[in-house]
Structure 1
């Protein structure tokens, strides 16, 4: 902010993309000089969720007695955009927003302009835990074993620069599962699978000093050499400036428009079906999702879950893998083959304590959409459910325009 103010000869017009509103990502905003300058204009973007607005979140942290200046007293003109997944145009740059795996609704951003693509993906945890715990995601085939990891690789595909979460080492990660961050080795494997040119490791662990970061970079570069890759890996640092050159023309895949989040629309409450024979897990999931005002239905066996699903046509289904009668994959197969076409695409998330390679393949072969691996934390469940519900009914044919 200070650099912008020093260089600007007139009021600044800018765009600020916020991945999520955890405090470590927004606490610097009240000190961002350009928003105090009269005549400046800023568009702020962040993921929206049910009942949450970026403006309200920023305003809350600037209330007295936390800060001497309220949000409404800032001199700049500020416009707030609560986003879902998809593509939009910002100041001539094509921006693609995609949900990341974090205990809060979080977006990564892919920026494309002048033949160059840059991806900013911090606060992301691998979906395939076992690969990350074992020292990395593994080979390209294993990297994309989980459908959501494959989706993440596609998000990074062919980027000239990826700035990626790398808070932990592979050795540290088993103690940090469900914290919402990646081992650096997993970031390398994602980038290799996506044929990325350069990888900037970021979101460094606060306890890691510069020498430790350098050692981690060396480990990652060795990993690239062992894979026979040409990926350039380095650590992001304050003040670092990079110049990216245009590569061969790349194919632009259609993306749904990044419409306003469902939080800003007067849509009816989503219906969520939870099926688990463990009463403790069932109550935990109910308590977690009740705060979002979902209409919840529950079942403790597969047959009941199938009957309720057909009766209420839920927006999303959470299914335990092992239940009396029909198990989760059998319920999934029955719904995917149902005469009602609604069930071909409804998100079905499998709850399981066994999500290794064999089980992962089996689950996705049955038609499940995603996994929640036990034990899980309530914030992770809430974020994943909200991300899937935000995707429901999205339009892939158009791009929204902003700025």
Structure 2
């Protein structure tokens, strides 16, 4: 790795699925791992978003690249199992000298440590939190804005069962938004909130990259209202109105194969074209990188 610091955002995708991993021949192109994305800023700062099964692939990358010691921030959207279940298998946790700060929204119902590592309690896991060798710190988040060095972090409460947060990361003139597990109710729905929609559009306004839950096709959403996830047309509309530069479809349902995601992508791109939108749409694959210079 070069020691010359620049201002690049390097976004890499380690898992793009939701709910549970789906290995198999029909999920090879996009990958079958659940949510984990990293943001490497200025060749210096490591930010990790969620700890689904994709975080194991990130650990393998760190080992193969000889990146040590690791100092990173892990932003967890919420403690549903598919967003934390591979954290006990994240190898850097077992290496002395590594430092990991875990940041997560919390309604105050239990300590942050228990939210994240309760899954390691006996009899469900053979190793306890106390046996991890890395230095761990925890930060409880609400809807807020704060800074770490020169990086500005903003959070927003999302429309999902439980306490779920979205993140906006700003560094100099670059920004990245991570919005997963967020339902966007239809305008004719009694659950629709103009204030909530306006707040989200303002939050993601003109971001370079928006990574957002696009779990459903529109027809699928009609029978899954209230489940806490969004469909293609809603996501496209929000991204276009917010003048997002790059829209990345994320958190694909387990039953959707590679061909389904292809169709989801082409549908989104066609909708954007019909709106004469300047927003570019992608469906990231495991291992894929986006570099924002």
**8 A contact 1:166–1:184 mirrored in 2:** yes
- Per the alignment, residue 287 of structure 2 pairs with 239
Q: In 2 relative to 1, CA 117–65 (structure 1 residues): closer, same or farther, beyond 3 Å?
A: same
User: Which runs of at least 4 in structure 1 moved beyond 3 Å after TM superposition?
Assistant: none
Residue number among 149, 154, 166 corresponding to 1:96 in the alignment: 154
Secondary structure of residue in 1 paired with 2:203: helix
**8 A contact 1:55–1:80 mirrored in 2:** yes
Q: Once the 2 structures are TM-superposed, how far is the Cα of residue 123 of structure 1 from its aligned partner?
A: 0.2
* C-alpha distance in 1 between matches for 2:132 and 2:71: 15
Q: Larger helix proportion, structure 1 or 2?
A: 1
Q: In 2 relative to 1, CA 145–20 (structure 1 residues): closer, same or farther, beyond 3 Å?
A: closer
Residue number among 181, 184, 187 corresponding to 1:123 in the alignment: 181
TM-score scaled by length of structure 1: 0.56
**8 A contact 2:243–2:278 mirrored in 1:** no
* Structure 1 gap ranges (5+): 134-143, 246-403
Check if 1:209 corresponds to 2:271.
no
* C-alpha distance in 1 between matches for 2:259 and 2:186: 29
Q: How many residues align?
A: 235
The one of the two structures with greater contact order (alpha-carbon pairs below 8 A, sep at least 6) is: 2
Q: Once the 2 structures are TM-superposed, how far is the Cα of residue 55 of structure 1 from its aligned partner?
A: 0.3
- Per the alignment, residue 82 of structure 2 pairs with 24
Residue number among 201, 207, 213 corresponding to 1:153 in the alignment: 201
Q: Once the 2 structures are TM-superposed, how far is the Cα of residue 124 of structure 1 from its aligned partner?
A: 0.2
Q: In 2 relative to 1, CA 228–101 (structure 1 residues): closer, same or farther, beyond 3 Å?
A: same
Secondary structure of residue in 1 paired with 2:227: coil
Secondary structure of residue in 2 paired with 1:104: coil
Q: Once the 2 structures are TM-superposed, how far is the Cα of residue 29 of structure 1 from its aligned partner?
A: 0.4
* Larger radius of gyration between Structure 1 and Structure 2: 1
Secondary structure of residue in 2 paired with 1:78: strand
* C-alpha distance in 2 between matches for 1:46 and 1:3: 24
**8 A contact 2:175–2:208 mirrored in 1:** yes
Residue number among 167, 182, 188 corresponding to 2:215 in the alignment: 167
**8 A contact 1:19–1:107 mirrored in 2:** yes
**8 A contact 1:217–1:235 mirrored in 2:** yes
**8 A contact 1:101–1:127 mirrored in 2:** no
TM-score scaled by length of structure 2: 0.76
Secondary structure of residue in 1 paired with 2:292: coil
Q: Larger strand proportion, structure 1 or 2?
A: 2
Deviations for 1:84-130, whole angstroms, at most 9, x for unmatched residues? 11112235321111110001110000001131110000000014453
**8 A contact 1:128–1:149 mirrored in 2:** no
